[in-house]
Chain A
């Protein structure tokens, strides 16, 4: 079975721009969670989607948004990028919101 895939793997953006990251879960998994990882804050939960519905949300500003499609693929969007948004963005999929399997991440650099 193929693992969780994330695209793109690396991204460089300028302050003020917006960005969209994509995550394809393991086949059959309907839950997708997103996390931000930075050296200072560690791993922080952004949001979780299940069957195209956001079920849970972390403490991030409204500039961070996401969605999930009928095939369980998920995207997250960050608008009006700030330098502090530079991070490794990880998505994880789960068949039952229990054991989570992570993708390789998207490294976002904001200049």
Chain B
């Protein structure tokens, strides 16, 4: 059974510092991994999708890496801003499970001005 873990559960950094968010999964038979952002009481915003054949994806200040063999993904956010304050969730899609994402519990990030 796939388990997805995100450590730390919460993180507070001063504005301008780089953010490093970790995600680990127990079953390497994944099809893809997706990072999301969730603001309080809102839906999820897709940040980056990494296919299992890829090692990383980049979008603006965001960069996500994937190491299937070790069951890890890392989301880097460069030069953090107060607007980056949110909960960040990673989710894995399995090769044999249509439409189902297995989510981690998330990392709550606060960027202080």
User: Do residues A105 and B101 form an inter-chain contact, with CB atoms below 8 A?
Assistant: no
- In contact, A97 and B99 (Cβ under 8 angstroms): yes
At the interface, is chain B mostly helix, strand, loop or mixed?
strand
A94 to B32, CA, bound (A): 14
CB pair B49–A97 under 8 Å, yes or no, is: no
A-contact bits for B82-113, CB 8 A (1 contact / 0 none): 00000001010100011111111110000000
State whether the Cβ of B44 lies closer than 8 Å to any Cβ in chain A. yes
Q: B42 an interface residue at 8 Å Cβ cutoff?
A: yes
Residues facing A in B14-50 (CB within 8 A) are 31-32, 34, 36, 41-46, 49
**Can you list 19 A-B contacts (CB < 8 A)?**
A32-B99, A35-B101, A43-B91, A43-B103, A45-B100, A45-B101, A48-B100, A56-B97, A58-B100, A90-B44, A94-B99, A97-B98, A98-B31, A99-B34, A99-B49, A101-B46, A103-B43, A104-B42, A105-B42
Residues of B within 8 A of A100 (CB): 34, 46, 99, 101
Residues of B near any A CB (own CB < 8 A): 31-32, 34, 36, 41-46, 49, 51, 89, 91, 93, 97-106
Chain A residues bordering chain B, tally (CB within 8 A): 28
In angstroms, Cα B2 to Cα A45, docked, is: 13
Question: Which residues in B have their C-beta under 8 angstroms from that of A4?
Answer: 43
Could you say which residues of chain A place their CB within 8 Å of the CB of B49? 98-99
- Which A28-76 residues have a C-beta within 8 angstroms of B? 31-33, 35, 42-43, 45, 48-50, 55-56, 58
B100 contacts A104, CB within 8 Å? Answer: no
Minimum distance in angstroms from B86 CB to a CB of chain A: 14
CB of A54 to closest CB in B, whole Å: 10
